[in-house]
């Protein structure tokens, strides 16, 4: 059975020093990490179910203390199990698991190093990616842009998985919790996986809304002014709270 399990891992993500894949770290996942891994896998599967990614595109991560759990590279999310927990430290050294971490690891780690993020979601959502090819920032089509910190910027294109892409992303994320990646997709973060995912879904909806309105022949969408966006941002800070 042990040999069968190793063969299955070879097919799904690879293992063994002979192939340049990390050997087992020698550390078992702690209880909090095991629980977070289950939530991460559920969120990753949700990105597929909701049409935000196709196949193994996109990736998800969550921070537990000084460990960052990430989806592995090239493994369909519906095949991930509790034994597949994959984690690195904030320097990118693998500390959990044997599957290769996502190729977008530099982008995820850049967010954790520079913000208070607890989770990061990256997708190749269709409408958001389309918008990233058209404009330098998503026009202020709806006040919910304020929930992401303001008008959503587009990070200039760079090859996936590179430090250059991570640097471009960080500039676009300044004072924001989400951005678009030119000709690539989206990145959002939050204190929890739920919040990071909700922001991703909201960003895709905003992009779809703008594309839909812009497609009406002979008409131009009305955009919100900076003052209107600021007013919405202040109101959103109190959303869900009891007054008085």
Q: Which residues are catalytic?
A: 104
**Structure token digits, residue 34:** 């095991």
Instruction: From residue 128, give the alpha-carbon distance in Å to each of 58, 210, 213.
Output: 13, 10, 14
Distance of CA 79 to the CA centre of its chain: 20
Cα 218 off chain centre by: 36
Check if the beta carbon of residue 63 is closer than 8 Å to that of residue 119: yes
CA-nearest of 235, 232, 216, 214 to 224 is 232
Query: Any residues with CB less than 8 A from the CB of 61 and at least 6 apart, and which?
Result: 40, 68, 69, 70, 71, 102, 108, 112, 119, 120
Q: Are 86 and 109 in contact (CB under 8 A)?
A: no
């Amino acid at each position: 059975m042990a040999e069968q399990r190793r063969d299955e891992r070879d097919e799904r993500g690879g293992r063994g020093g002979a192939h340049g894949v990390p050997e087992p770290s020698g550390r078992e996942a702690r209880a909090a990490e095991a629980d977070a891994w289950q939530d991460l896998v559920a969120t990753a599967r949700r990105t597929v179910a909701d049409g935000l990614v196709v196949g193994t595109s996109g990736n998800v991560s969550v921070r537990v203390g000084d460990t960052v759990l990430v989806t592995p590279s090239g493994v369909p999310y519906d095949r991930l199990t509790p034994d597949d927990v994959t984690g690195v430290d904030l320097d990118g050294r693998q500390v959990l698991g044997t599957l290769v971490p996502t190729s977008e690891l530099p982008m995820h780690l850049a967010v954790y190093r520079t913000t208070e993020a607890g989770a990061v979601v990256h997708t190749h959502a269709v409408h958001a990616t389309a918008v990233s090819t058209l404009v330098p920032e998503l026009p202020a089509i709806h006040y919910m842009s304020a929930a992401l910190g303001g008008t959503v910027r587009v990070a200039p294109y760079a090859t996936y998985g590179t430090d250059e892409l991570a640097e471009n992303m960080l500039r676009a994320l300044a004072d924001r919790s989400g951005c678009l990646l030119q000709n690539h997709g989206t990145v959002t973060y939050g204190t929890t996986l739920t919040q990071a995912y909700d922001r991703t879904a909201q960003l895709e909806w905003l992009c779809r809304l703008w594309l839909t309105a812009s497609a009406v022949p002979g008409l131009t969408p009305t955009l919100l002014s900076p003052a209107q966006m600021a007013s919405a941002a202040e109101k959103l800070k109190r959303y869900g709270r009891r007054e008085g």
